[in-house]
Amino acid sequence: MKKLIIGTVLAMLLVVSAIAPQTGCTHETEDTGIPVSESNRWLELLSILPENEVALKAAFLQDNAYLEEKKQQYPQISSEYAIIRNHPLLSGDSPKAYSDEEWKETLGFVSADVDQRIYAGELPLDYYEAVRGCFSRDDVDNAARTGPGNDMLEVVSYQGHEFYSWGGDNDINMSMRSNVRQLGRGFRLALVDDFIFWVRWTDGMKEMIDSYEDNVKSLADNEDYKLLAGALEELDTVTALFSAESQSRSYVSEIYQQIIEDPDNNERRQVLVEEIKRELRLKPYQAFATGAGIDKDGYYLAIALLNPSEEVARENATLLEQRINQSKIAMAWHSQSGDKWSDLIESMEIESKGRLTLARLYGAVVECWVNFNVMGIMGPYEPLLIHE
């Protein structure tokens, strides 16, 4: 009888535990011990980008709204840095050429409506763009149907969504050239919930919709990126660069072979070559993320390296500090060529957690969060994170 009662109680407890509300929506990863929230804002943004070779090279995410929130939280931080960067949809041929009137007429929204920005891929053709914010479906629809190029507009239905399509994939139409449509290219635009998707080819639009609807794997499904998203959430950044592209010296040397063979007596190029050839390098890692943040101590550059083991993570924490103290900045526009990284850093914190190497570098170096993409999409490449 006692066994029956105990069994009944245990069964009831199992039922209660199964239906009881959970106290949180996070889980700790085995590798890092860093909680990765299901509402992680970086994973939310990565979820609209398809997991493919192009998108894995570089994904730039920027949270304008969170930056403003952090500025209000720390009003004592008076320094100002150029953290938010424009990409083609947001700047066209030149950021100075932007106008509310053109955007409203062509797209149905203006820059002030944008809270978050997403960009992934590589120039000149294969890239995905999106913005997230408060958009009026009526205004977007009216701009598409009455604005420039409306005579070639086609409305396409796909997976329960509609998107607007102008011309053929990557078409050039000089009569449509504007700050929004560089070279008058054909574009596709979709308003999907609170996202605007904006790409140059039809399959690219379908890939973004499929990613958003979980019909295909997105960058948010990438296990390495999940760990890195948790790291950036812990580092509390307002921007993020995710990349699985190799930073090995052999790969970087191949990309910059022409400059290495002929730096053309250009000081910045000469420093770049010197840094690519520098013997002190990091140990190989699998993927990385960088970002910009602000706290009570000021603005900082955050770096997260995902390593193959905890031992390598510890080694790279030591090596990264050594590289920061020895390496020079080559191409970044805001520095003098030949300045050491340490010249832009007021203080730094570097540690390892599980397989992650984590760093906060305070000071003007925060503006360099975009400079670690090998192809230099958002800014010139800096080989600080180059590995063996």
Question: What was the pLDDT predicted at 124?
Answer: 65
Question: What was the pLDDT predicted at 89?
Answer: 63
Lookup result for tokens 């820059």:
111
Beta bridge partners of 362: 300, 347
Residues 6+ apart with CB under 8 A from 186: 165, 166, 167, 168, 169, 170, 171, 173, 200
Question: What was the pLDDT predicted at 125?
Answer: 65
pTM: 0.89
Question: What was the pLDDT predicted at 21?
Answer: 39
The residue ranges of the chain whose pLDDT is under 50 are: 1-24, 27
Residue 179 CA to residue 133 CA, distance in Å, equals: 21
Question: What was the pLDDT predicted at 264?
Answer: 82
